[in-house]
Amino acid sequence: MTDISTTAPIVTRIPAADLGGPDRAVFERCSEAAVAALAGAAGDGFRMTSLSLDVASHSLGEGAVEVAARVDKRTGMIVFASVEARSAGRMVFSGQGLFCRG
């Protein structure tokens, strides 16, 4: 039987400085944060096989960034997950990941 379930977002807050703030977001730091959030949503026993990530080019400021990751679709062998990070209502990054069991 295939379980095509979705989950409520797992929300965390990180300092903008961790992503390059108060200046523009640093892609590598956003990528690390996105992978960590997506892996947390996918759960143990799954490994990432694909990542698509878009990072905004505006300055982040000094506030916190809210990162929300969720499972969009889960079967016995694969997980599709998405992540969105916002600061002061503005998009910092968004992405999607594909995970496989194993």
Token pair belonging to 15: 């300092």
Considering the domain boundaries, does residue 47 fall inside one? yes
Q: Which two tokens mark 26?
A: 């640093």
Ordered DSSP codes for 47-82:
EEEEEEEEE--SB--SSEEEEEEEEEEE-SSEEEEE
**Residue 94 lies in domain:** 10-101
Q: What's the mean pLDDT when you consider all of the chain?
A: 93
- What six digits make up the tokens of 25? 């977001």
pLDDT at 5: 61
The per-residue pLDDT for range 46-91, each reduced to its tens digit, is: 999 999 999 999 999 999 999 999 999 999 899 999 999 999 999 9
- Structurally, the chain folds into a number of domains equal to 1
pTM (predicted TM-score): 0.91
Whichever domain contains 15, its CATH number is 3.10.129.10
Q: Which of 7-11, 36-40, 68-72 is predicted least confidently?
A: 7-11
Integer-rounded Cα Rg, in Å, for the chain is: 14
In a domain, 1, yes or no: no
